[in-house]
Amino acid sequence: MRVRRLIPARGPSLLVNTGLAVAVLLAGGWAYTTFTAPGTASAGEARTVPVSRATVTSAVSVPGSVRSAATASASFATAGPITEITVAVGDSVKKGQVLARVDASAAKRELAAAEADLDAAQDSADRAAETDTPTAQADAAVTQAELKVAAAREKVDGATLTAPIAGTVVAVNGSVGDSGTSAGGATGGGATTGGVTTGGATGGGSTASGSGGDGLVQIADLTRLEVTAAVPEADATRLKAGMPATVSWNALPGATADATLAAIDPNATTANDVVTYGVALSLKDRPDAARPGQSVQVTVTLDTAENVVAVSALAVTSAGNRTTVTVLDNGAPVVRPVQVGLRGDQLVEITSGLTEGDRVVLPSTGGADPSTGGGRGGPAGGGLTGGGGRGNR
């Protein structure tokens, strides 16, 4: 018996499937066209800003820190075990106040022996004078003995450590029983941060170490604060002592103070192939909560041009010695050469080529328009925020 296969009719199904495939292709094409087509003309319209008068400011903004403007590290001038420490961290001290003492027994014995030798030398000189004997040798012996007495007295005095400056004790690097190592000399004022030393070199008190190279007692005048910072070499060449500055505190929102650039380190500091110069700034005023060690942002004003024709820095293009802007002339963009003066943080001074009321074209990309404001601004963080100084003024 022969079996027949039943073959379904293809006519209607084939038409339906073909129609569905065409619909899918049309839908895909519509979606591709919709999501990949270029933007409308309105989205690409040029952004413009008017030319107006403003104040142009160029500044350097870098991070810094607060420190005492007068510090001292006091240590014994005479070696010996420490027998007494009369101060603690946080104590206020006056200049010349006793801070600590070491055992002066050996120094006192040396002084007594030197004084006895001086008496003997003086007696010999007196006898020589009474007998008309030449006294040159006896007089030399007296002078030598006097020098030994003076040195012995210095050792006795050096066993007592006194404050070289008035201020607050910020560190005590030792305890009773430790060895007070002698080194002689004295330091007062001018801790070094970022390479700049201010406030004085040596003077008043004794210096060496208690239990380390930082001295037994460290003192800082917390009523006299200053700010130090490290400026990149390209910007440091434009700085001069006396320039005005503004300091803002990172930990004190809204707290600012006027300052003056007091000193620029003549020697560079290199770290990770980055060359910087240390600077110190004196504060004209300071917040009540200001403390040594706080981090701040320092903005030094390099130059200011007031009430000048200015445009957004984004609108200015420089190529070699040619500087241009694009302006709208009867609705059409036209490139126009200009002469510039001060290049500031947000604005550029235009000395010729534009007049008030002209509209300049900004680039289609480049972030928010900084043309408003005209004062100091720009991000902080280690360098020039605005760019070069005056040109073609």
CA angle 373, 376, 377 (to 5 degrees): 85
Q: What average pLDDT does the structure give for the chain?
A: 77
> Which of 177-191, 229-243, 317-331, 349-363 shows the lowest per-residue confidence on average (mean pLDDT)?
177-191
Q: Estimate the share of the chain in helix, then strand, then coil, as percent rounded to the nearest 5.
A: 20, 40, 40
DSSP assignment of 122-173, as one string?
A: HHHHHHHHHTT---HHHHHHHHHHHHHHHHHHHHHHHTEEE-SSSEEEEEE-
pLDDT of 13 over the 70 cut: no
- Compute φ and ψ for 133, nearest 5 degrees: -85, 145
Segment 336-353 mean pLDDT: 92
Matching residue, tokens 């495939």 = 21
What is the arithmetic mean of pLDDT over 246-250?
Answer: 94
pLDDT at 325: 93
Tallying the residues shown for the chain, one arrives at 393
pLDDT at res. 383? 35
Q: Which residues contact 342 (CB under 8 A, 6 or more apart)?
A: 56, 58, 303, 304, 305, 308, 348, 349, 389, 390, 393
Q: Region 150-169: what's the mean pLDDT?
A: 92
Instruction: Give yes or no for residue 385 having a pLDDT over 80.
Output: no
* Whether residue 76 has pLDDT greater than 70: yes
The tens digit of pLDDT for each residue in 88-100 reads 999 999 999 999 9
* Residue 125 pLDDT > 80: yes
Residue written as token pair 């895909």: 28
> pLDDT for 272-292, tens place per residue?
999 999 999 999 888 888 989
Confidence of residue 40 (pLDDT cuts 50, 70, 90): very low
Q: Give me the mean pLDDT over the 302-330 stretch.
A: 91
pLDDT, one tens digit per residue, over 190-214 is 333 334 443 333 333 333 333 344 7
**Terminal Cα-to-Cα distance of the chain (whole angstroms):** 112
Q: Bridge-partner residues for 254, per DSSP?
A: none
Is the confidence at residue 184, as pLDDT, over 50?
no
3-state secondary structure of 186: coil
In this prediction, residue 181 carries a pLDDT of 66
SS3 306: strand
pLDDT of residue 36: 34
What angle is formed at CA 367 by the lines to CA 364 and CA 368, rounded to 5 degrees? 105
What's the pLDDT band for 151 if we cut at 50, 70, 90?
very high
Q: How far is CA 354 from each of CA 69, 112, 183, 315, 338, rounded to the nearest angstrom?
A: 49, 89, 69, 12, 7
pLDDT confidence tier of residue 167, bands split at 50, 70 and 90: very high
Give residue 138's pLDDT: 86
